[in-house]
Structure 1
Amino acid sequence: MVAGPLHTSRLFAREWATAPWSVGAICPSSRRLAARLAREVPAGNGVVIELGGGTGAVTHALLENGVRTDRLIVVERSPTFVRHLRGRFPDVPVMHADAARLAWCLPLDLRVDAIVSCLPLRSLPHREVDEIVDQWRQVLRPGGVVIQFTYDIRPDRNVVNAGGMGDFVMLSSRIIWANLPPARVVTMQL
């Protein structure tokens, strides 16, 4: 089943109305934002984990950018979005799980090359952000990357030092103006 734009927008609006602090945006990620996130994923054979799959805009872009379905795991906390993602991408493993408990959901020997985070870290409680970032450290292989986007596009904000990410090295930071609202994509390496 492929969801049309109208169905996807309604689904997103319904979830936002139910839990705006959890969804963290007023509309789904644009194609340009999703494509930029996907282009930041390194080539390789290790797993790519998408956190906060939502309606699947980034999942679609990851697949379009060449991430194989056997290399991709989508993690989503909303049961509604999980059902939607499983229907839209039947060949992609979609886990109904919390990013703050990620290491407990994955095999110990899993080689994770990249985490693509669509989580609204700036709107989550600091304790929860610290737990999520700690999970990144536990599951990423040495040299693995985290690709995070934020709606805070001010240049004087240091995303890497926010949320206890001081041991991550910023590789790139780009603003995607063709998104509502505009977003900054930050790629960090552990």
Structure 2
Amino acid sequence: MSKLFTITALKNLKQTGSLFRSSKKLANQLVKPLGADKKLTVVELGAGDGVITKPILDKIGINSCLHSFEINLSFIPKLKSIKDNRLTIHNTCVSNLSTIFAENKVDFVISCLPLANIEYAFKKQLIDDIKFILKEGGSFIQYQYTKKDQELLKANFLEAKTTLCIKNIPPAFIYNCQN
């Protein structure tokens, strides 16, 4: 357990979505579709203290790149301690996705954002922006602790498969959505 994550979560649970950081098992399930066999552009939303960032970097190839978004300044020094030329840290709101990335340029978006805590209008715009930046056949991978947004995801993507990771506190539903 990360002391930094828990302290930060206690200050703003709505923003972090949980008191506990993601488990290694959850991280491994989130990055499972990634591969080192081709050049990938990956976007991570809500990087936190890097618990998912590191497994992403371990899974992608040397010519790939990872853009990690984190708005909470408490986590930025921890993310910056990850020394990897493939990593670009964005300390900005995810509402800027469609201005940072061109249409059809991203292979994977992996989101650790607490969607259930985000108001509908912002969430819908975020999904539209993700669809805009994803390549055809690209994947949006999101996890949640409830199925609250399952229908929203299914309505916005061609395919939305759901799996459950029980080895996480709390257990998490993982959505793998195809553009």
TM-score in terms of structure 1 length: 0.84
Equivalence for 1:39? 32
C-alpha distance in structure 2 between counterparts of 1:188 and 1:110, whole Å: 15
Residue number among 59, 74, 99 corresponding to 1:80 in the alignment: 74
C-alpha distance in structure 1 between counterparts of 2:53 and 2:104, whole Å: 20
Structure 2: any 5+ residue segments left out of the alignment?
none
Equivalence for 1:98? 93
Moved more, 71-80 or 174-183: 71-80
Report the residue type matching 1:32 in the other structure.
K
**How many Å apart are 1:66 and its aligned residue?**
3.1
More helix by share: 1
C-alpha distance in structure 1 between counterparts of 2:129 and 2:39, whole Å: 21
**How many Å apart are 1:70 and its aligned residue?**
4.1
**How many Å apart are 1:175 and its aligned residue?**
0.6
Equivalence for 2:23? 30
Equivalence for 1:152? 146
C-alpha distance in structure 2 between counterparts of 1:109 and 1:144, whole Å: 12
Report the residue type matching 1:185 in the other structure.
I
**How many Å apart are 1:167 and its aligned residue?**
3.0
C-alpha contact (below 8 Å) 2:141/2:176 kept by paired residues:
yes
**How many Å apart are 1:68 and its aligned residue?**
3.9
Moved more, 72-81 or 61-70: 61-70
C-alpha distance in structure 2 between counterparts of 1:84 and 1:127, whole Å: 31
Matched, 1:162 2:152: yes
Taking structure 1 as reference, are residues 172 and 41 closer, same or farther at Cα in structure 2, changes over 3 Å only? farther
Matched, 1:178 2:160: no
**How many Å apart are 1:168 and its aligned residue?**
0.2
C-alpha distance in structure 2 between counterparts of 1:22 and 1:69, whole Å: 32
Taking structure 1 as reference, are residues 185 and 46 closer, same or farther at Cα in structure 2, changes over 3 Å only? same
RMSD: 2.1
TM-score in terms of structure 2 length: 0.88
Equivalence for 2:57? 63
**SS of match in other structure, 2:156:** coil
**How many Å apart are 1:69 and its aligned residue?**
7.2
**SS of match in other structure, 1:175:** strand
Identity, in percent, stands at: 24
Structure 1: any 5+ residue segments left out of the alignment?
none
Taking structure 1 as reference, are residues 109 and 131 closer, same or farther at Cα in structure 2, changes over 3 Å only? closer
**SS of match in other structure, 2:107:** strand
C-alpha distance in structure 1 between counterparts of 2:70 and 2:3, whole Å: 18
How many residues end up aligned between the 2 structures? 177
